[in-house]
């Protein structure tokens, strides 16, 4: 698969097979992802790979915090305080498409909650990645991190793997840092589920539209 095919194939996978991911595949895809550009080659990325008991401890702790009503305290604000169009329209359409694929009605609050809590279980993926950045770095390094994270997802496809980038896994960053023994100097950007997609699950069978380039591109001569 060439890079353009990988870009078209990438999607947020929310149902995984229990099949194990070989450590060599994870190492190789991270080595490939590290070819991402960064200002003055600063390479600001820091990655925690979690599996087995450690991943389960994080899942359990995040679920407990959520169920106990602990207020989320992410290291940064991912979403706007007030949504406006067209972003609001796209957000609503995204939610409708997801719940429709899961067969969950607007009135079924119990299953909606279960679907949301599935975020903290990495959607059944055997590997959970966490991406950190030094808090002393500035916005440019956050752009570098975005390019690195995208590279991780594309490299995963090259290894026959699927991913789902997850802002939800960064809602309680101190819980994650404490379990991993990560210094507070490092901010948690997001998590990511990594594994083999289960194509038989309806939640993996829908795709969201993207606006054509003429909607966001301005040409100047």
- pLDDT, tens digit (0-9, with 9 covering 90-100), for 91-132: 999 999 999 999 998 889 899 888 889 999 999 999 999 999
Handedness of CA 214, 142, 92, 118 (dihedral sign): positive
Global pTM reads 0.95
- pLDDT, tens digit (0-9, with 9 covering 90-100), for 155-176: 999 999 999 999 999 999 999 9
Question: Strands 186-195 and 127-134: what pairing?
Answer: antiparallel
Q: What is the DSSP letter of 12?
A: B
Q: What is the pLDDT of residue 113?
A: 87
| Highest CATH level, class, for 3-77+120-209 | alpha beta
Question: What residues does each domain of the chain span?
Answer: 3-77+120-209
* SS (HEC) of 192-212: EEEECECCCCHHHCCCCCCCC
Question: Strands 46-50 and 186-195: what pairing?
Answer: unpaired
Q: What is the DSSP letter of 104?
A: -
């Amino acid at each position: 698969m060439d890079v353009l095919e990988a870009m078209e194939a990438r999607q947020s996978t929310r149902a995984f097979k229990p099949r194990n991911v070989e450590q060599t595949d994870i190492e190789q895809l991270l080595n490939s992802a590290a070819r991402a550009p960064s200002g003055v080659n600063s390479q600001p990325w820091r990655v925690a790979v979690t599996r087995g008991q450690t991943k389960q401890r994080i899942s359990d702790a995040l679920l407990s915090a959520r169920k106990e009503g602990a207020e989320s305290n992410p290291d940064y604000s991912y979403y706007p305080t007030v949504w406006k169009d067209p972003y609001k329209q796209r957000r609503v359409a995204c939610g409708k498409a997801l719940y429709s694929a899961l067969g969950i009605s607007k009135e079924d609050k119990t299953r909606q909650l279960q679907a949301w809590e599935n975020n903290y279980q990495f959607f059944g993926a055997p590997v959970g990645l966490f991406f950190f950045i030094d808090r002393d770095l500035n916005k440019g390094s956050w752009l570098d991190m975005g390019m690195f994270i995208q590279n991780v997802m594309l490299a995963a496809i090259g290894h026959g793997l699927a991913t789902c980038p997850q802002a939800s896994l960064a809602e309680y960053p101190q819980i994650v840092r404490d379990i991993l023994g990560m210094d507070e100097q490092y901010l948690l950007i997001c998590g990511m589920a990594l594994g083999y997609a289960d194509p038989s699950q309806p939640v993996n069978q829908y795709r969201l539209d993207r606006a054509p380039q003429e909607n966001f591109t301005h040409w100047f001569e």
